Amino acid sequence: MDPAGELAARLGLPVADRALFERALVHGSFTNEHPEAPIGSNERLEYLGDAVVSLVVSEALYQRHPEEDEGALTARRAALVSTQALARVAGRLGLGELIVLGQGAERTGERRRASVLAATFEAVVAAVYLDQGFATARTWLTGLMEDLLDARIPAASLKSPKSRLQELSYVRWGAPPVYRLVSAEGPDHAKRYVVDVLVGERALGRGEGGNRRNAETEAADRALEVLEVKREVPPALDASPFPGEPSPESGT
């Protein structure tokens, strides 16, 4: 497969600088394993793409939701530029199958990880911006996210997983969740964080990410899934900290 050529075809844009789109698909794990490779990782493009996505989404929401105040618009934007949301948009382009990974990352399933998909999508956005200019990038991106930008979901329901978990934890058990760093491994430029979140002294979710914030967000999202399934059971009394796993006390 020619990942860059396939990406260009899926974007439906007249790509001028093919090297930009090749780089947008290269994960840091590949360059770590192949330092001699002529093309670098997508990390710099990810940095730029993050800013482009934020600006385009902010402008679109400002225009499409004139009845909402700053707080509501901020909550809506946070939901749309979150790791989980951008990973879903990346799925619309099938980016997961196009990412160029190192063998170690391939074995650990990084191709399917939300943080990797979101970062790759931001790198692709930056490549479109540099190759085509802001006007084209804005038109393309708003078209890709049209339904999300126009969604009439109440802004209150768009809060980040960490905010929602904190509110839920205070309401039900009178205390905030606690995030515990499990590990932080790898070189400084490609460190992987693993974080557990504890609610009522029970570990309810584990998350991983390229920074601690993303790992905590993923952990909170997992915890919310557990609490939604078992919403009448306080975590400290729950029989199992994770769905389908035995309780530490069970000895099984």
Residue-wise burial string across 34-56, b where 16 or more C-beta atoms lie within 10 A, e elsewhere: eeeeeeebbbebbebbbebbeeb
pLDDT at 39: 85
Out of 22, 46, 122, 196, which one is annotated catalytic? Answer: 122
CA dihedral (84, 126, 52, 61) in degrees, to 10, reads: -60
Question: What is the full DSSP assignment across the chain?
Answer: --HHHHHHHHHTS--S-HHHHHHHTB-HHHHHH-TT-SS--SHHHHHHHHHHHHHHHHHHHHHH-TT--HHHHHHHHHHHTSHHHHHHHHHHTTGGGT-B--HHHHHTTGGG-HHHHHHHHHHHHHHHHHHH-HHHHHHHHHHHTHHHHH----GGGG--HHHHHHHHHHHHHSS--EEEEEEEES-GGG-EEEEEEEETTEEEEEEEESSHHHHHHHHHHHHHHHHHHTTTS-GGG-S-SSTT---TTTT-
Query: CB-based contacts of 37: which residues, under 8 Å, 6+ apart?
Result: 26, 30, 31
Shared-domain flag, residues 42 and 113: yes
The residue that leads in pLDDT, 29 or 248, is 29
What is the residue-averaged pLDDT of the chain?
A: 84
5-9, 152-156, 188-192: least confidently modelled range: 152-156
8 A C-beta contact, residue 109 and residue 94: no
Mark whether 47 and 96 lie in a shared domain. Answer: yes
pLDDT of residue 28: 87
The answer to whether the Cα torsion of 93, 4, 23, 110 is positive or negative is: positive
Query: What is the per-residue pLDDT across 155-176, written as a single tens digit (0 to 9) for each?
Result: 656 677 888 899 888 888 888 9
Q: Which one is catalytic: 46, 50, 131, 218? A: 50
Q: Same domain, yes or no, for 111 and 69?
A: yes
User: Is 122 tagged catalytic?
Assistant: yes
- Shared domain for 52 and 87, answered yes or no, is yes
Q: What is the largest CA-CA distance in the chain?
A: 60
pLDDT at 155: 61
Q: Does one domain contain both 134 and 179? A: no
Residues 203 and 145 in one domain: no
Read off the CATH number of the domain in which 231 is found.
Answer: 3.30.160.20
Q: Which of 140, 156, 172 is the last residue of a domain?
A: 156
- Same-domain pairing of 88 and 207: no
pTM of the predicted model, to two decimals? 0.68
| pLDDT single digits (tens) 93-147 | 999 999 999 988 888 888 888 888 999 999 999 999 999 999 999 999 999 999 9
Instruction: Please report, rounded to a whole number, the percentage of residues in the chain having pLDDT higher than 70.
Output: 87
Q: Which two tokens stand for residue 223?
A: 């915890």
Domain count for the chain, please give it: 2
Residue 244 has pLDDT above 60, yes or no: no
* Residue 196 annotated in active site: no
Output the pLDDT for position 118. Answer: 92
